[in-house]
Chain A
Amino acid sequence: MNVQQLIDHMKSRVDIWKQVTHWETIPAKPARYADFPRRLHPDLKGSLRSRGIEALYTHQATAVEKVLAGENVVTVTPTASGKTLCYNLPVVQRILEDSAARALYIFPTKALAQDQMTELNELMRGLGKDIKGYTYDGDTPPAARQATRRAGHIVVTNPDMLHQAILPHHTKWVKLFENLRYIVIDELHAYRGVFGSHFANVLRRLRRICRHYGSDPQFILSSATIANPGPFAEKLTGVPVSVVDNNGAPADGKHFVFFNPPVVNESLGIRRSSLLEARRLAEELLQNDIQTIVFARSRVRVEVLLTYLQQALPGKVRGYRGGYLPTQRRKIEKGLRSGEIRGVVSTNALELGIDIGELEACVICGYPGSIASTWQQAGRAGRRQGASVTFLVASSNPLDQYVIEHPEYFLQRTPEHALIQPDNLVILVNHIKCAAYELPFEQGEKFGVATTEEVLDFLAEERILHRAGDRWYWMDQSFPAKEVSLRSAAAENFIVIDISETGNHRVLGEVDRFSAPTLIHEEAIYLHEGVQYQVEKLDYEEKKAYVRQVNVDYYTDANLAVQLKVLEVEREELDTAHCSKSMGEVTVNALATLFKKIKFGTHENIGSGPIHLPEEEMHTTAYWLTLEEAIADRLSRDELQAGLVGLANVLGHLAPLYLMCDPRDLGVAAQVKAVHSGKPTLFLYDKYPGGVGLSEKLFELSRELLQTARGHIEKCPCEEGCPSCVGPAVETGSRGKALTLDLLRRILDEETVLK
């Protein structure tokens, strides 16, 4: 069966149709073209024509025109719409006009940078001119580095290299910085949250160094669809940016299927596992030789699904996620392009534009957390000719259930806002240090915030900087960029070492510091490429986990106990008559307490054990709701507890509807008697030191979020609460759902009577 036949067949089957809440057919869209911009260099026109390109898509033409007119531009388009021409054309044109001109291309990952070089070289081959493009990353051999610094017209790199290798050594890049005309940033939407907040500061440093060498480069940006491309791009780059979104690229016919696993226990509201349903769908696709990509939300889920699917199609299905080594990843990408690999199970690592060719089907196991991500993942399936299909399989968590029951929300609403907080104090100060290392700060100089000088004076008191006259100089033996990792809170990752074979220990992968207590505690089952390993020893000091291959029928899942303390209130408002909302700084202490062993297949709990690891402490920002006596007085402590926990569950899960973040970027905590006020309080906090703006946004959206939560709980068909709304009754008690709803109505100041 080809993919169209299979789609028709699946559509007609009752067992599938019963679980489908909506089957969206997106018709094919013809291309819209525009003439070559008049200013386009004749050589470029010739080169395009020689490749059979007689016109540009509308968005390409607009973008090129605007850039040539001197504007900063962000092009917003879906996957595979020819966005690279939007920046390659003006860049190459500028170099044709002035061979001293330079451009810097920044891609979020090394792999993407390498893909880009292939494409750039193709364009330049057609020109027959001596334009040199080089990648500069950790893999660039030392001998080639010098040539890149001096002779590269186009330097292709990633944010981490820029941060640690290029900017601190800017004197070796004089040619580049003196002549830098364009900064190209692709996959702009990838720079949100912590990573984006860091990156915005790296760009501040980059522009500062350009100023030192007398250049003022233009930005050419491209992004997947998000709600706020313009403001987001401006916040990230610090310059005014013009948005181009008249997408003219053609699209094939697509089927987008909303799939809700069947309810297996009516009263408890328990649905069949999304993992098992995704497995069933993917197996059917793979067995019909449809090349399929499966997305799962966590590393563990990727590995579990991989184990299942490898049984269905031995040797042809691979996993893909962070923590795999680069060479391994390159091999998998290649296998996908050649078609040798028929299926791949991935985390959102493959969401970005890494070239894996065009697949025919996509199964998304669990809502990825944002509309933007979902479209990116679905975009992985789609061929020039013929149809493609995407199944979105909902898990039982409230966010998934909300989306699956409100397909119109998903299909009609604009995607989420990409949020960053470049002025997060921890991030900002670290980059001010890096910037001071690169060039001394001058009095009156502003680095992002008006209070720059206060920060500089503080650092001088701490003897990291030295104030001399009207300047601040770096005066420390360390190399500050080494101490700041753009990708996670902690610079150091844990290394996972396989000791199965005596005398042949090897590094399997890496785990970041905050995930370590829950993923690689002793006795944890660590899954890698579908193979199970048990952690034998975790050397917390040395940041090493020693694992040995095992074969068991369970995986492990760890509990985290969280304590929260308010340090400072930044904003506070009476939200409704009986409830106030606040935002401010808090301390969060997280302690991994115990783990459960969960059986494959049935997912039942078959054992548990304690975890003995030190507590992690973090200062961050939080948004919280404080209930006044009028509400609290009428409820018992237990009732209050149940209602708060229920509400915390719902809010924590639904908040990502408004924030372009993963549910795991947010933490929740409920306190019947908060330490700072003695009142019942519910916290949602940023899981990154200092916060990256999620709490601010929640503070603004407070009421809307509460209303959405009420609507969602009311519509949920369960009786006493279920994992899809307030949480299962075992967690909140048999009246959990009613109590939560009652609490919500009171907060929203509506007249109700407790049942």
Chain B
Amino acid sequence: MSSSLRDRLQRHFKRSTPSDTPVAEKPEPHLKQSADRFGFTWRENERGGYLHRRQVFSAEMQHGRYALGEMLQGSSEFLMKNGTGFEELLFFDTETTGLGTGAGNLIFLYGIGYFQEASFVLEHYFLPQVGDEAALLQDFLEQVASFSVVVTYNGKAFDWNQLRTRTTLHRLPWAGEKEQCDLLYPSRRLWSRWLPSCRLQEVESACLGLIREDDTPGNLAPLHYFQFLKDRDLSRMSGVFDHNERDVLSLATLFTHLQQLLEGRQPPGNPEEAIALGQWWERSGRVREAFARYEALLSDRKTPLHIRRQAYRAASRIRKGEGHWADAVQLWQRWMDEDLWNPEPCVELAKFYEHRTREAERAHQMTLEAMHRLSKRGRLGSQPRKKEMDALKYRLRRLEQKREQTLF
């Protein structure tokens, strides 16, 4: 029966060529020795053992367009709660065996970075023996306990979440409630308009001046690990270690870059970024700085129309909200002259003349102009905006009535 079970299994499930019989893993002396070559040391506690590496980088070390320590000169208030010190930040990135956050997705490499005495420390926790995960986790959790903020890239949903899954799986106490500073979200707000994607590598090369050469792509990391588990050859993993190291360092650089942009110490690199920055400031209550940003965009002749349009829209909204009507009207008129196919400024002006200055005739003219622009756009194939047009027709009728009232 037993050989028959094998045959049947093969019939239904065979997928690969015959492989060597699996070896039961044990802590081999040669692994501990070869670990040396990569700067790792063997660590043990009552739950088992794992490999650990600690590297210290000087604050002056350049990674991309910034030195690691540059962040310390800035403030952290735009990305985190007030009063958080830089020594409380934990830069965190993992390598896992799969995607998703299910119980079967194993974290085999944990990378963390933090500032200590004006240096940047980078630690790696690597799991060479799957059965000893609890040993690694226990030490790792102890090490990260004192930090209050976790800085990640898509880690709120993934890396940190998955750490929690591993902890629960081993029934270890979870004390990981920390403030999450996930840099994916600010990156999306600033760059999703002009970057093809907001993958970390994309952001690195476009914004941080980092090009990765002979990098091991993250999606191949699991395969290297699976192979390592078979042949115990640690040199297979060195590419993955390097990849993770760069990820953690890039988190620091990215943090610095965002900080400098948001503080206004770093001029925006292009109009898209500039407008996004203005909108960020406006939303977080820094209206004056936002307005200045919009004005700067409008006074630069090279700013493309689609950005100018957004700047006009936002700037005139600010002025209107403050009751600076003369400024607002001036902005609308400039907008109208520049953005010839857009009914928006005409509508704004129509509203202004109708309700503020009560000039029914001028309001009527503006409404007609808006309708003209809208239908012109319709003829050019853009979707006819029936609702918009109906609203304009309604306004026009009302204005005609008002005009008659003033005539008689």
- The minimal Cβ–Cβ distance linking B286 to chain A, given in whole angstroms, is 31
Say whether B4 contacts A479, CB under 8 Å: no
> How many angstroms from the CA of A689 to the CA of B13 in the assembled complex?
12
Q: Which bracket fits the contact residues of B?
A: 35 or more
> How many angstroms from the CA of A455 to the CA of B12 in the assembled complex?
12
Residues of B within 8 A of A619 (CB): 11-12
* Partner pick for B19 among A437, A463, A689, CB 8 A cutoff: A463
- The minimal Cβ–Cβ distance linking B200 to chain A, given in whole angstroms, is 20
Q: With CB as the reference atom, state the residue of chain A lying closest to B15.
A: A462
> How many angstroms from the CA of A468 to the CA of B164 in the assembled complex?
23
Inter-chain residue pair count (beta carbon < 8 A): 116
> How many angstroms from the CA of A568 to the CA of B21 in the assembled complex?
27
Complex interface: stretch among B102-110, B113-121, B314-322: B102-110
A356 part of interface (Cβ distance < 8 Å): no
Say whether A451 contacts B5, CB under 8 Å: yes
Complex interface: stretch among B58-66, B92-100, B187-195, B345-353: B92-100
Say whether A437 contacts B104, CB under 8 Å: yes
Say whether A462 contacts B98, CB under 8 Å: no
Residues of B within 8 A of A174 (CB): 168
> How many angstroms from the CA of A86 to the CA of B260 in the assembled complex?
66
* Partner pick for B103 among A169, A429, A458, A471, CB 8 A cutoff: A169
Residues of B within 8 A of A727 (CB): none
> How many angstroms from the CA of A567 to the CA of B12 in the assembled complex?
12
Q: With CB as the reference atom, state the residue of chain B lying closest to A173.
A: B168
Q: A171-B103, A171-B164, A585-B8 are in contact. Are A476 and B98 (CB under 8 A)?
A: yes
> How many angstroms from the CA of A477 to the CA of B98 in the assembled complex?
4
Q: A436-B104, A458-B13, A462-B16 are in contact. Are A467 and B24 (CB under 8 A)?
A: yes
- The minimal Cβ–Cβ distance linking B283 to chain A, given in whole angstroms, is 23
Residues of A within 8 A of B230 (CB): 463
> How many angstroms from the CA of A426 to the CA of B101 in the assembled complex?
26
Say whether B103 contacts A438, CB under 8 Å: yes
- The minimal Cβ–Cβ distance linking A569 to chain B, given in whole angstroms, is 10
Q: Which bracket fits the contact residues of A?
A: 35 or more
Say whether B102 contacts A463, CB under 8 Å: no
Q: Mark B159-171, 1 if CB is under 8 A from A, else 0.
A: 0000011001100
Residues of B within 8 A of A439 (CB): 103, 169
A301 part of interface (Cβ distance < 8 Å): no
A460 part of interface (Cβ distance < 8 Å): yes
Q: With CB as the reference atom, state the residue of chain A lying closest to B166.
A: A171
B6 part of interface (Cβ distance < 8 Å): yes
Say whether B101 contacts A475, CB under 8 Å: no
Q: A429-B13, A475-B229 are in contact. Are A168 and B103 (CB under 8 A)?
A: yes
Residues of B within 8 A of A475 (CB): 97, 106, 130, 226, 229
- The minimal Cβ–Cβ distance linking B351 to chain A, given in whole angstroms, is 37
Residues of A within 8 A of B104 (CB): 168, 436-438, 474, 479-480
B387 part of interface (Cβ distance < 8 Å): no
Q: A473-B106, A479-B98 are in contact. Are A466 and B13 (CB under 8 A)?
A: no
B8, B9, B131, B165: most-surrounded residue (chain A CB, <10 A): B9
Residues of A within 8 A of B101 (CB): 169
Residues of B within 8 A of A429 (CB): 9, 12-13
Say whether A454 contacts B5, CB under 8 Å: yes
> How many angstroms from the CA of A438 to the CA of B104 in the assembled complex?
5
Residues of A within 8 A of B15 (CB): 462
> How many angstroms from the CA of A690 to the CA of B5 in the assembled complex?
12
Say whether B11 contacts A476, CB under 8 Å: no
> How many angstroms from the CA of A567 to the CA of B15 in the assembled complex?
20
> How many angstroms from the CA of A715 to the CA of B23 in the assembled complex?
66
> How many angstroms from the CA of A475 to the CA of B229 in the assembled complex?
10
A170 part of interface (Cβ distance < 8 Å): yes
Q: With CB as the reference atom, state the residue of chain A lying closest to B104.
A: A437
B148 part of interface (Cβ distance < 8 Å): no
> How many angstroms from the CA of A477 to the CA of B169 in the assembled complex?
19
Say whether B22 contacts A460, CB under 8 Å: yes
Say whether A458 contacts B97, CB under 8 Å: no
Residues of A within 8 A of B16 (CB): 462-463
Say whether A477 contacts B103, CB under 8 Å: no
> Which residues of A pack against B, CB within 8 Å?
168-172, 174, 425-426, 429, 436-440, 451, 454-455, 457-463, 466-469, 471, 473-480, 567-568, 585, 619, 689-690
A-B contact pairs, 30 of them (CB 8 A): A169-B102, A171-B164, A171-B165, A425-B8, A429-B9, A429-B12, A439-B103, A439-B169, A451-B2, A451-B5, A454-B2, A454-B5, A454-B6, A455-B5, A455-B9, A461-B19, A461-B22, A462-B15, A462-B16, A463-B16, A467-B24, A468-B25, A468-B129, A471-B130, A473-B130, A473-B131, A475-B97, A479-B98, A568-B7, A568-B8
Q: Which 5 A-B pairs have the closest CB atoms?
A: A437-B104, A171-B168, A474-B104, A168-B102, A468-B131
> Which residues of B pack against A, CB within 8 Å?
2, 4-16, 18-19, 21-22, 24-26, 97-104, 106, 129-131, 164-165, 168-169, 222-223, 226, 229-230
